[in-house]
Amino acid sequence: MLNRFQLRCAVASVGFGLLGMGAGAARADATAPLDPNAFTSLGSLSGATNYVFNTGSGSPPTLTENGTTVITGVISNGFAVFDFSDINISTGSTITTSGQLQGSAPLAILSQGSVVLDGSVNIGATGRVPGPGGSAGGINHNNQLGIGGATLPGGGGGFGGQGGGGGAAGGPNVGGGLALGAAPNIFSFFGGGAGFGVGGPTDSNVGGGGGGAFELSALGDISIGGLGISNNGGIGGDDTTGVSAGGGGAGGGIFIATPGQISLFSSLSAAGGAGGSSNVGGTAGGGGGGGRILLETANFAAEGPYTISVAGGATGAAGTPGFAGDPGVFDVTGYVPAVPEPGIISILMSGGIPLLARHRRSEKRR
C-alpha cells in the first residue's frame, strides 16, 4: 500500500519503466467529480457478463446488458451519466462502448456506494473509431490542439502528450497533434484522432481514432482488479499505396475519484496508438501522444502486480520511420469534493477550484 509520497518515490526509483510515464509527466489537476447524489440511482450495476454503453446515438444514452436489457442514462453538462447505488463487476465480465465515428458523449459511471471492478473495462479506440468523446481518425487538423496530425505525412494525434510526426516529417513533432495545456477540468478536452496518410482517405492508411473520456466516481471505496481499465488510442492504418501510412490516435482520459480509497490490482492504460507501417516503400505514421490519468482519493493503495501507462505510441515498423508520440500525464491528488451547486461546471471550466475558493470567501465576508 502506497501513499502519495511513496508513490512518487517509487515512480522515480523505477525510471518510469513500469508506469510508462515520461520524466516530469506528473501534474495536479483541481478537478471536481460529478456528484453521485445529484442523480437518480438506476439500482445496482451487477449480475451481467456483458455491458455495452452507447453514448452516441442521440439522447438519452443507453446501457445494454447481456445483449437484451436496456438501461437509460441521462445527458448532463455534455456527459452521458449512469448513476448506480453500487457497482460490482465480476471476474470475466466486460464493459465496452458501441463505436461511433463522431459526436459521442464522454462516459461517466457513478456510484452512490462502493465500486468493485474485477472484470475488464475497454473504452478506447478501435482503428479509426474513437472512444466516447474522442475524435475519429482520418481528420486533418494540421497541428490543432488535441486532434489530428497534418496530412503529409500521417502524424499522430495529441492529447496528454504531443503526437509524433510521420516519416520524413522533418522533426519529432512536425505534423503531430499538439498536447493540450493545463486545464481546470480533465473533461474540458477529449482524446485526439490522428491524421490521414497522404494517400488517404482509404481504409488502409487512415489515422487511428483517439481514446475516449471516462469518469468513474463513487462515494465509497473503489477497487480495480481483473484486466483493469483500458482507454488507448487507435493504431494507424498501414500504407498500401507506397506513399504514407496513417498516424496513431492519442490516448484518452481516465478520471477516477472517491473520498475513500482507490485500490489497484491490475492495469490503468491511456497510451497512444502506434503509427501505421508502409510495407511498399512509403513513410510510416507517427505515434499518438499519451493520454491523461488522474486519481483523486484519500488514499491510493497499489498492491500486487499493477501497471499504469500513459506512454506515447511508437512509429510504424516499416517504411521511412516517423517519430514516437510523447508520454502523457499521470497524477494522484487529494479528493476534491463534488459541489452540487448550480453553475459549478461553468465555474470550474472558467477558473477552476481557485476561483471557486475566492467566490466562497467573498460570500462569507458579506
Extract the C-alpha cell encoding 256. Answer: 477516477
Which residue positions in the chain have pLDDT lower than 70?
A: 1-30, 57-58, 101-102, 139-153, 168-175, 178, 180-204, 339-366
pLDDT of 13 reads 23
Strand blocks (E) in 115-176: 115-117, 120-122
| Residue pair 231/131 in contact by the 8 Å Cβ criterion | yes
Q: Of the candidates 65, 115, 53, which has an alpha carbon nearest to the alpha carbon of residue 85?
A: 115
Question: Whole-model pTM above 0.75?
Answer: yes
- pLDDT (0 to 100) of residue 52: 96
As a whole number of angstroms, the distance between CA 220 and CA 115 comes to 7
Residue 74 near residue 95 (C-beta atoms within 8 A)? no
What SS3 state is found at 275? coil
Q: What DSSP designation does 278 have?
A: B
Residues facing 264 on adjacent strands:
224, 302
Give the count of alpha carbons within 13 A of 235, CB side only: 10
Report the candidate in 349, 272, 286 with the shortest Cα–Cα distance to residue 323. 286
Helices (H) and strands (E) in the chain, counts: 3, 21
Contact 102, 136 (CB under 8 A): yes
